[in-house]
Structure formats: C-alpha cells, structure tokens
Structure 1
Amino acid sequence: MTETQTNPNANFKRRIFSGIQPSGNLTLGNYLGALKRFAEKQNEGIETIFCIVDLHAVTVWQEPEALKRQTRELAAGYLASGIDPERSILFNQSQVSAHAEMGWLLNCVARLGWMNRMTQFKDKAGKNAEKASLGLYAYPALMAADILVYHATEVPVGEDQKQHVELTRDIAAKFNHDYKTEFFPAPAPVIEGAATRVMSLRDGSKKMSKSDPSDASRINLTDTADQIAKKIRKAVTDPEPLPETLDGLEGRAEAKNLVNIYAALSGKTPAEVLGEYGGAGFGTFKPALADLAVSVMEPITTEMNRLMQDPAEIDRILGRGAERAEAIARPILDRTLDIMGMVRSR
C-alpha cells in the first residue's frame, strides 16, 4: 500500500487552519480550548494560519462598532496567548475575499441533506428557525471554504466543532469526485489536551459560555486576579475529597472539570493532578487551583489590556496577516475556478 493510500494528504504540505468568532468576552474556555493550543502548534514545524472569522459573526446581528472592538479584542487575545504574527499568519476573515468567493463555490457542492444534519444550526436557531438568516443556515459551507481555501490538512477544534470538519471532508471528497481531481485535501480534526471542553463553574454539565447569565459561571480573560480567585473559591463542587484515580471522577462533573482545568493550566495530565491531590478536599485544591489560574491568566490579561491601548498596531498586524493569507488563498481559489470551468480573462 502506498503512502498516498494510507494518508490521503501525503501530497499536500502540512498546514493548520483554525478560527474563532469575535463575539466578545473571551473566557478561560477559549484560552484552554483554543488559544493556548494554537500557540503550542507553532512549535511543531507546521505552517499555522489563525483567523478571526468576522464573516461568521454577522450570521446574527452585530452592532458595527461592537464588532470592530470585539475583533480587535480577539486579536489581542491571540497575541497575548502567545501567537507570534511572524511565525503564524493572523488575520480577520473579511480582509481576504477568497473566503467568501470559495464559500459560494462550495455552497454549490454541499448537499442540502448534509446541511440539514448540522446540529449547531438547530441549537442556535431554536424554535425560530424560519426567522434565522440564510447565512446562519449555510455558514458550515463557508467554514469548509475557510479551511479548503488554504489546503489546510489539520484543524484544531473542540469536540463540538468536529461535525463541521467532517462536513468539510465530505465537501472536499465530492468536489474531487465530481471534477475527477485530487485537488482538495481531507482535513483532519485535531482534538487534544486535558480541557478541550471547559465546563461552567456553576454547572459541570454545561459548557463554559460567555452567554451564561451568571458571570460566576466563567473566568473571563479580562478578570482581575481577585475575581479569578473568588470565582474558583465559589465554584460548585461536591462534599467528597478528590479521588486518587480517574475512575473516581465518573459522575462527578464539577470535580472532573476543576481537575481538567488544573491539568491544562499546569501542563500535566489529569492522572498526574490526582496523583498530587488525590484524597485532598476542595478546601485544599481550590486555593491551589486559584493560585495557578492567576499565575497563568494575569500576564495574559495585562498584555491584552496593553494591546487594546494601541488599536492601530492591532490593525497593522491583521492587515499584514491578511496580505500573507491572500498570497496562499488566491492561487488556490483561482485553480478552483479553472477546475470548475469559469472563464477568467483578466
């Protein structure tokens, strides 16, 4: 069996692409589930492209000035979390028109049945699906375009985004089949780390969310050291001490969440954390977690605040990133148009 048969992306350069919506109020979940992992990927010798997906943001109404502020805040979050704009490409999606152009082309490849199976539209539209925007319904095809317009081979995502990468693979495979080519790779979802899905501090069965009405349910990247420590001290737990093995966390969602957060912040495995704190009560573990969280998060908050004082510098970084992204995306888009039979005479 050849390498191409065992690895469908063997003929493609390894390239990572991932993006985050600029919806404001970045949380510890965004940091541990995405930003921290993105920064680590810079050390793996793979080209890394990170995007602020502002075109996805407008699938629901956005106040224009708020969207600008949130886009710059997310850029500051990327940078403060360790993204180096020289080692990685960092930009906002709307500055590279190839995303929207490829999005339309892939709208015409994606099948309606595939889109109807996408669970996130059902979750976001709720009972008022008839009033949702067409963009909210079709955005998974734009997400596929975001990935494929760079021939990305790997996509770091959370578990809840895996379905979108699988759709991207389906779209790429159908395009290749229909046009009798091997033009698009089959991007692989990369789901790794101790806390790829950080849960609420008030309810371990729910994901930590910026939209939760209770600010105590989350740690914001803009929280002060005192706020972080207070939220962790008041996090919901059970009366039992921490177990000594991972099996003992089954059925203890809140305890498992705090152990996973500690592991992700410290670079340890959950098993190693339990090896250190197994048998201890939360009166011991929570202060240790609070100290760790403050030591990691406070420098990020300080750097974000510094960066937000200079929006022109953020805009410069995003503009330069967009130029570099365009240089990769435009030839791939042009070749896609050629394959599909578009006449291009200028």
Structure 2
Amino acid sequence: MGIILSGVQPTGNLTLGNYLGAIRNWVTMQSHNTCFFCIVDLHALTVPQDPKKLKMQTREVAAAYIASGINPSLSTIFIQSNISAHTELSWFLSCFTPMGWLNRMIQFKEKSGKNRESSVLGLYAYPVLQAADILLYKATDVPVGEDQKQHVELARDIAGAFNRAYEKEIFPLPEPQILGEATRVMSLRDGTKKMSKSDPSEFSRIHLRDDADTIAQKIKKAKTDPDPLPEDPKLLTERPEAFNLVNIYSALSNQSLESVCHQFAGAQFSTFKPALADLVVSIIAPIGLEIERLMNHEDELDGILKKGNDHAREVAEKTLHEVQKTIGILRV
C-alpha cells in the first residue's frame, strides 16, 4: 500500500486525454492506496487567469474527479491553494535546489520559448512547488504523464538533498508512475500532437462535458488516412492518426492493441469510427451528465472539497512542522 499524490490544473474543460492519461488510472488506485488528488490552482497562475473562470474551473475539475469515479470516502480531494503549507514548504525546498537542476527542466524551455527573459518566476520555479505538493504528503508514487516525469525525478533529488543535509529520512523518494495503454492521447486533428485544452480547434479533442451527439460528431470528423486497419499494430507506427484512434479504443475497451487490430483487421474507418464513437459515448457521456449535476449543486460539491481540504491540511501541517523543527525554525 502506497501514498499517491497527483493533480490537474483548473485551466478549462478536461478532455478524454486527461481521463485516459490520468484520472481513470487514479480511480483504480484508490482501493489499495492512500490517495490525495488536488486541483493545482497555484500552478495555473503561471499564466494570467480570469478570476471568475478560475473559481468555476476549480469546481469543474473537482466535479470531473468525482464523476469519473474518484470516491471522496476513499480519496482526499482538495484545492492546492487552500493548504498554505504548500507554498511554505516550497520556499524551504527552494533553498535546497541548485539553479542547475531547474535549468535542466525541459518544460520551462518549451513554454518560455524565445521569451525566456520576460517569463515569470513562477513558471521557472514551479517544479519546486510541485516537489512540495508531493513531499508534503510523503507520497511514494506519483501518477503523471510522460511530460511530467522529469519533475517527479526533481522531487526525488530535492528530497534526497534535504534528507542528506540533516541526516534524517524525512521524505521518501517518490516514484513516477506512467500507466495505461493511452497515457498519451493525441489530437483528433493531428496524430503527432498531444490532445490539448489549448488547441484552437474544438474538433481536436473530446471534452468530458461533451454530450453524446458532440462526441459522435468529433469522432466522425477525426483525421484518418485512406488505408484499412492492419491486423498487426506495428504497421500503425507510420500512421499517427490511425494509431491514435486504435489506441483510444484499446484503452477504453481494456483490450490490447493486438486484440483491437485483430477485431477490426481489414476494416475501413467508415466501419471503425462508429464503433469507436459508440464506445466513447458509453463511457464519457455519463461522466459529463454527472459533472453537470454537481456543477448545479455547488453546496454539495463545496462540502466535499471542504472535507478534503481539512484532511489534507492536517496531514500537510504535520509534515511542515516536522520540516520546521528539523531546520531549526523557532515556532512561538
């Protein structure tokens, strides 16, 4: 039994990629682990946010967690910013983080691009806050996408540096977990790009709040190629759009790629797409309906978040006080 910590930024409608790459895997973990799932709103602030939208989207992510099967009775669902220990521990950990470690972070280089000098400090330093998120709960395992694996490895390095500095095993060394067949769901318009909430085309992604008709339409319009589906999935290597759709079917049906290809071998996409649409609708449409219900019952949703915040705060402050005592912070 491990301690699991992960989270999603409240930056707009969650997608099928968020569900398959993260949330669905969390659901399976909660029955045999101690799980903390947060809405990481502090990380969202590295780019400008509309205050009203940020509040709404924070609730929306919480609703998506619950609608997807995360049980508040089994897992702690909370809002990162409501637990002040996150930012406090982040400062302490930043004093054990060499600049060279942060300079190696690929995401900062990708997101800042040519505007590195005008990028905000939060974008550069947020991997340290992410380490604090993980270490506050003494997480042993962190389910993340491939693009966040480097940040979990940084958290390991920071935890090790702190432990060595005081010759105490204060923090466990967390392990990244990359799980599932579809850990990286790609755009429905370009199979070489990750499915993203920020893509300008609505037809590039399926939102968890999309209704059945919208889902079916997006699958119908998904980019493909003229060739039939092969029996051997290895033959999809050079067909990114075809591979993406087969990969989604594989993940949602809990079948191997080999099994899906064997089932649809020789079929055209005019046959495969309706089957895929039916499968996606059967799983995602009920999630969307429950999200809508929870968003229309804010008192119920906020009650779940308050309970989660209270428990997370209790655990986090215990770790923070242990860290303060170890460092030599005087608490009067």
TM-score (norm 2): 0.98
- 2:106 aligned with 1:119: yes
What residue identity is the alignment partner of 1:239? P
**Structure 1, unpaired ranges of 5+:** 1-12
TM-aligned CA deviation for residue 343 of structure 1: 1.5
Distance 1:184 1:190 in 2: 18
User: Where does 1:228-307 land on structure 2 (aligned, <5 Å)?
Assistant: 228-307=215-294
Equivalent of residue 322 in structure 2, options 335, 338, 341: 335
User: Greater shift after overlay, 126-135 or 149-158?
Assistant: 126-135
- Structure 1 position 98 matched with structure 2 position 68: no
The aligned residue for residue 5 of structure 1 is none
Contact kept in structure 2, 1:95 and 1:319, CA below 8 Å = no
Query: Which consecutive residues of structure 2, in runs of 5 or more, have no partner in the other structure?
Result: none
Map 1:55-94 onto structure 2 (within 5 A). Answer: 55-94=42-81
Structure 1 distance, partners of 2:292, 2:229, is 36
Supply the AA of the counterpart residue of 1:143: Q
Secondary structure of 1:126's match? helix
Query: What is the root-mean-square deviation of aligned Cα atoms in Å?
Result: 1.0
Report deviation, 1:126.
2.0
Comparing 265-274 and 164-173, the one that deviates more: 265-274
Contact 1:201 1:218 in 2 (8 A): yes
Matched, 1:34 2:22: yes
Per-residue deviation, 1:47: 0.5
- Secondary structure of the 2:274 match is helix
Aligned partner letter, 1:288: A
C-alpha separation between the residues in 1 aligned to 2:98 and 2:120? 18
Q: Displacement of 1:246 after TM fit?
A: 2.1
Q: Secondary structure at the match of 1:90?
A: strand
C-alpha separation in 2, matches of 1:33 and 1:275: 24
1:173 to 145, 155, 160: 160
Classify the secondary structure of the residue corresponding to 1:184: coil
What code does the residue aligned with 2:56 have?
R
Residue number among 200, 205, 211 corresponding to 1:218 in the alignment: 205
User: Match of 1:23?
Assistant: 11
Please say if residues 35 and 78 of structure 1, whose CA atoms lie closer than 8 Å, have aligned partners that are also in contact: yes
Runs of 4+ in structure 1 displaced over 4 angstroms? none
Q: Distance in 1 between matches of 2:237 and 2:47?
A: 37
**Distance apart, 1:275 and its partner CA:** 2.0
Q: Is 1:165–1:188's contact at 8 Å kept on the other side of the alignment?
A: yes
Summarize deviations over 1:126-164 as a string: whole Å, max 9, x none.
222222211111000000000000000000001111011
Shift of 1:312: 2.0
SS at match of 2:148: helix
1:36 maps to a residue whose letter is: R
Paired AA for residue 206 in structure 2: I
Q: Are the equivalent residues in 2 in contact too, given 1:100–1:142 (CA < 8 A)?
A: yes
- The one-letter code of the counterpart of 1:24 is G
Aligned partner of residue 17 in structure 2, secondary structure: helix
| Alignment partners' CA distance in 2, 1:25 and 1:126 | 25
Q: What's the offset of the Cα at 1:40?
A: 1.4
Shift in Å, 1:209: 0.6
The aligned counterpart of 1:6 is: none
1:22·1:52 contact (CA, 8 Å) conserved in 2?
yes
Aligned residues: 332
* Structure 1 range deviating more: 274-283 or 102-111: 274-283
The one-letter code sitting in structure 1 at the alignment partner of 2:203 is A
Q: Secondary structure at the match of 1:242?
A: coil
Per-residue CA distance 1:202-221 (angstroms, 9 max, x = gap)? 10000001111111111111
What does residue 134 of structure 2 align with? 147
Distance in 2 between residues matched to 1:278 and 1:192, nearest whole Å: 26
1:10 corresponds to? none
* Equivalent position amino acid for 2:22 in 1: A
Instruction: State how 1:166-205 maps to structure 2 within 5 Å.
Output: 166-205=153-192
